[in-house]
């Protein structure tokens, strides 16, 4: 055979090292080989082109390869090329002719060649959703290849079976096949690309097991390995898989953005099958992100491709996204209800992942139309999935179970389903560690809680409303923190980010172009986010399913008054617990409360500039009174003079609570949940009582501030004037008793976990704080907007608070608006003197507020009102 070529070697290279295969194939064809060798070279070249997205060119080349194979007179050579052509036609959407050619290739081969052709046919059958037939072909293929000693193609066949088994949810069998395929590849050596495919497929297993952090880690690692090999043919597949994982984690907008970027950047690449899969995922992501029109456009495009390809299962799935999105757009006609029911039944028959959600939607639509028998049937089917499939989907089944019970008027069964469903949602959250994954994984849990809360409001049962409100909040920041393992690469990336931020600031100050530096920053931020997401959660729990973890506030509060705010259907409610009695008051529209909060924050920001306008004092008083009416309403009269614990929803965590007349002369703290507040009270600082004082650069008056505070703590560690670097500050903060950081703060609404404090060598971000083994027990952040956190759902936060409280910070003072640096200096010195005298954070901050009010300085008063005591 000319050029020393064998079919085994060149065709193997086409899948394991495609660039090398393409070079050799080109060299062979340039040397005028005989027909048999030419057919091999053309087949190898076509495989590389197909996998690179050049499907039309691959088909043309394979037809030439078939002619060469026939000219060689070798029937098995003809069958082998025909099988590759059939598979490629199928991937291009011409599934009928592709299958016919594959059938012919299988019929015309025996032994090992037959095993290879069976594997190829199984791959197309898998794409078409004909899983039983695919499994049978793969069973026969593996048997033939093992008997024939073809270990490479046996490994490939097992890899294909992994995909089929994952599609039907048989993850244990899939894992065994994947492990055996990996062993075979490693024994053979040189299978670089195929070993990356193993890594890629492990993301599917992690996803199906509910290990979303692990799935993202495998996808990132696979993308890195593909790039090192110089292979860019898996952009669609990686983007599609990442989209599904991000959707399961609740990161809807990011899933949509990533899919849309790939569609835009690779519009002319990839085969029709990959393109349709990504369009489908993009449609699902757009629906979840609240973009129903875009969802209809993407899912309808995918549906049409699936129809042409004969991919019935995928056609049904895409049709559901279209229907679901039209429902989200407000369509409610009777035809939609009928189509929803039929589609749900079809998805159930096809064992599609969307089946429970389809039955849930069909049940809801039927109930809205008064078709109660249909509603009950569909909700019953959806409820069957409450203990089946990936953990992130169990709450859907429990939600359907609860809605079915509600439809029957069985309140007891509804509340029981809500408890079990909430437990399923919480168990899923325990598999996550990255703060943003944890915070977003809440969708169905929120709806379950709201069902129970509506029942409590209807009954007028304040204790029940409080218990259910607390139950979900207690599962957020109340869980133990999960630190990523010590990772020198993460530390290096954080250091690099600080360097880039410094260059960016210098360039802006000098009026120089910043576009390239901003691109560097975005790339580093993306790498940091990806790295932190790879850690799986291991939150332990001893609670039994169906139990209520929320503590009884009537016995747990001691002498404190509790105020919990809850909103339902756009209405804000205030529940107070005082003197052994719980009462709920309807306050008013949530929109009014949000508007008054923004007006109050605006008034405080104006005064932070140090130039109060005429009438600023009375205007500030009026703003505080309006804020109290919007947030507490009649509940303001129930607070009394004792210490108060305020537990707001996430959307109201950045309130300047000190402005409220009912709280001005009261020691109060704000907590994410009652459970968090109680746990902080049980936490005692052990070890040496270290005090850390930090001053960042470019702050007016803070040199004096730190000097005064240092007199209160003579043994304090002081970091300033160049020594306040990120690593030095983190080292000092770890396990400190009290820490005070005077530094400019920046809240990043676009990415709250990159909110930061400015230190001597650059920003200290929330991601940096997450590297602490134990946060300071008591922490004062006398900086701009250090207490602001982004609400990502009803009761989930991302920001400084979300990083520090789970890591052990029991008391935290922070600002919710930019503050006047010079005035803050005097206030903070007085605050620490009161702490040193034995007062708690709430009482010390109250005295600072009262002193500012007594002095008649409106700027000092506005600054004092800008700070909030969080935690205990």
The neighbouring-strand residues paired with 738 are 691, 778
Residue with tokens 């609860």: 402
**Six token digits for residue 796:** 């989930």
End-to-end CA distance of the chain: 81
**Six token digits for residue 793:** 């759902």
DSSP, collapsed to helix, strand or coil, labels residue 814 as strand
Q: What is the CA radius of gyration of the chain?
A: 31
CA dihedral angle for residue 779, residue 780, residue 781, residue 787, rounded to 10 degrees = 80
C-alpha–C-alpha distance, residues 844 and 258, integer Å: 48
CB 102 within 8 A of CB 89: no
Q: CB-based contacts of 409: which residues, under 8 Å, 6+ apart?
A: none
CB 845 within 8 A of CB 813: yes
Q: What are phi and psi of 868, to 5 degrees?
A: -130, 140
C-alpha–C-alpha distance, residues 102 and 108, integer Å: 10
C-alpha–C-alpha distance, residues 159 and 90, integer Å: 19
CB 632 within 8 A of CB 668: no
- Closest residue by Cα to residue 744 from 832, 821, 804: 821
C-alpha–C-alpha distance, residues 646 and 674, integer Å: 9
What is the Cα 835 distance to its own chain's centre? 39
CA distances from 448 to 452, 478, 543 (A): 7, 19, 19
Taking the chain (872 residues) in runs of 10, the rounded mean pLDDT of each run is: 55 80 89 90 89 83 93 89 89 85 89 92 88 94 94 94 87 92 91 88 85 82 83 74 83 87 70 81 90 94 87 90 90 84 90 85 88 91 81 80 91 92 74 50 74 93 90 56 59 83 83 85 79 55 41 73 93 91 94 94 82 79 94 91 88 89 92 83 73 84 75 90 91 92 75 78 82 86 59 49 73 84 85 91 93 88 90 80
C-alpha–C-alpha distance, residues 831 and 599, integer Å: 27
The pLDDT, as a whole number, for residue 491 is: 77
Q: What is the pTM of this model?
A: 0.71
Residue with tokens 């700027």: 859
- Closest residue by Cα to residue 116 from 150, 66, 162: 150
The neighbouring-strand residues paired with 589 are 571
The neighbouring-strand residues paired with 577 are 562, 582
CA distances from 135 to 104, 177, 341, 389 (A): 19, 13, 30, 20
Q: What are phi and psi of 739, to 5 degrees?
A: -135, 145
C-alpha–C-alpha distance, residues 222 and 723, integer Å: 40
C-alpha–C-alpha distance, residues 609 and 143, integer Å: 79
The pLDDT, as a whole number, for residue 619 is: 87
**Six token digits for residue 229:** 């090999």
Which strands sit side by side in the sheet containing 745-746, from one edge to the other?
745-746, 756-759, 762-765
CA distances from 91 to 272, 318, 500, 708, 723 (A): 6, 18, 44, 73, 61
CB 447 within 8 A of CB 466: no
């Amino acid at each position: 055979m000319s050029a020393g070529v064998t079919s085994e070697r060149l065709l193997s290279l086409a899948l394991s090292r495609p660039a090398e295969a393409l070079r050799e194939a080109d060299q062979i064809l340039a040397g005028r080989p005989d027909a048999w060798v030419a057919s091999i070279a053309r087949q190898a070249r076509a495989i590389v082109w197909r996998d690179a997205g050049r499907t039309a060119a691959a088909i043309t080349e394979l037809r030439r390869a078939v002619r060469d194979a026939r000219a060689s007179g070798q029937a098995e050579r003809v069958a082998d090329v025909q099988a590759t052509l059939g598979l490629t036609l199928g991937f291009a959407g011409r599934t009928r002719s592709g299958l016919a050619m594959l059938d012919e290739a299988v019929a015309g081969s025996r032994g090992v060649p037959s095993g290879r052709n069976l594997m190829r046919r199984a791959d197309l059958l898998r794409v078409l959703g004909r899983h039983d037939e695919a499994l049978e072909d793969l069973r026969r293929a593996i048997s033939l290849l093992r008997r024939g000693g073809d270990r490479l193609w046996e490994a490939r066949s097992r890899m294909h079976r992994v995909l089929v088994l994952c599609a039907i949810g048989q993850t244990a069998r899939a894992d065994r096949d994947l492990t055996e395929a990996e062993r075979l590849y490693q024994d053979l050596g040189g299978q670089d690309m195929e070993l990356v495919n193993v890594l890629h497929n492990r993301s599917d297993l992690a996803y199906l097991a509910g290990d979303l952090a692990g799935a993202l880690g495998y996808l990132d690692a696979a993308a890195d390995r593909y790039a090192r090999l110089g292979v860019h043919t898996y952009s669609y597949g990686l983007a599609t898989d990442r989209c599904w994982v991000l959707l399961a984690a609740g990161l809807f907008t990011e899933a949509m953005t990533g899919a849309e970027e790939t569609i835009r950047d690779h519009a002319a690449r990839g085969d029709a099958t990959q393109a349709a899969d990504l369009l489908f995922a993009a449609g699902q992501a757009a629906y979840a992100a609240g973009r129903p029109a875009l969802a209809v456009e993407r899912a309808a495009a995918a549906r049409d491709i699936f129809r042409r390809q004969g991919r019935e299962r995928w056609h049904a799935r895409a049709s559901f996204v279209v229907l679901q999105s039209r429902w989200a757009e407000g369509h409610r006609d009777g035809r939609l209800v009928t189509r929803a029911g039929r589609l749900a039944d079809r998805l159930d028959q096809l064992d599609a992942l969307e089946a429970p959600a389809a039955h849930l939607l069909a049940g809801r639509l039927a109930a809205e139309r008064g078709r109660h028998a249909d509603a009950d049937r569909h909700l019953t089917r959806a409820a069957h999935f409450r203990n089946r499939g990936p953990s992130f989907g169990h709450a859907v089944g429990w939600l359907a179970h609860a809605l079915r019970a509600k439809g029957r008027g069985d309140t007891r069964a509804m509340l029981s389903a809500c408890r079990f469903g909430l437990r399923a949602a919480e168990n899923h959250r325990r598999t996550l560690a990255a703060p943003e994954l944890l915070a977003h994984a809440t969708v169905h849990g929120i709806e379950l809680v709201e069902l129970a809360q509506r029942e409590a409001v209807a009954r007028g049962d304040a204790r029940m409303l409080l218990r259910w409100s607390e139950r979900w909040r207690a599962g957020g920041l109340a869980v133990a923190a999960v630190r990523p393992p010590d990772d020198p690469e993460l530390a290096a990336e954080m250091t690099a980010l600080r360097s880039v931020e410094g260059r960016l600031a210098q360039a802006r100050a000098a009026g120089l172009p910043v576009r390239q530096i901003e691109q560097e920053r975005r790339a580093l931020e993306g790498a940091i986010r990806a790295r932190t997401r790879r850690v799986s959660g291991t939150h332990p729990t001893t609670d039994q399913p169906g139990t209520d973890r929320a503590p009884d506030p009537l016995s747990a509060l001691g002498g404190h008054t509790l105020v919990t705010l809850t909103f339902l259907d756009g209405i804000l409610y205030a529940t107070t617990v005082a003197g052994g009695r719980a009462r709920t008051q309807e306050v008013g529209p949530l929109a009014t409360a949000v508007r008054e909060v923004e007006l109050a924050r605006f008034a405080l920001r104006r005064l932070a500039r140090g130039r109060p306008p005429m009438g600023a004092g009375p205007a500030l008083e009026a703003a505080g009174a309006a804020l109290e009416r919007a947030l507490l309403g009649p509940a303001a009269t129930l607070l009394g003079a004792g210490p108060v614990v305020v537990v707001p929803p996430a959307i109201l965590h950045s309130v300047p609570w000190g402005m409220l007349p009912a709280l001005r002369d009261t020691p109060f703290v704000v907590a994410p949940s009652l459970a968090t507040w109680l746990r902080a009270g049980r936490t005692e600082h052990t070890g040496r009582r270290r005090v850390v004082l930090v001053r960042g650069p470019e702050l007016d008056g803070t040199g004096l501030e730190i000097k005064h505070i240092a007199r209160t703590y003579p043994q304090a560690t002081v970091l300033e004037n160049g020594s306040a670097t990120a690593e030095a500050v983190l080292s000092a903060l770890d396990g400190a008793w009290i820490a005070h950081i005077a530094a400019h703060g920046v809240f990043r609404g676009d990415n709250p976990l990159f909110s930061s404090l400015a230190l001597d060598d650059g920003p200290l971000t929330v991601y940096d704080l997450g590297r602490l083994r134990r946060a300071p027990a008591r922490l004062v952040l006398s900086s701009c907007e250090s207490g602001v956190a982004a609400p990502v759902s009803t009761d989930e936060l991302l920001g400084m608070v979300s990083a520090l409280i789970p890591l052990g910070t029991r008391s935290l003072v922070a600002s919710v608006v930019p503050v006047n640096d010079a005035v803050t200096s005097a206030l903070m010195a007085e605050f620490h003197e009161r702490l040193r005298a034995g007062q708690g954070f709430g009482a010390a901050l109250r005295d600072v507020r009262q002193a500012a009010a007594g002095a008649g300085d409106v700027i000092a008063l506005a600054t004092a009102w800008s700070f909030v005591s969080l935690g205990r």
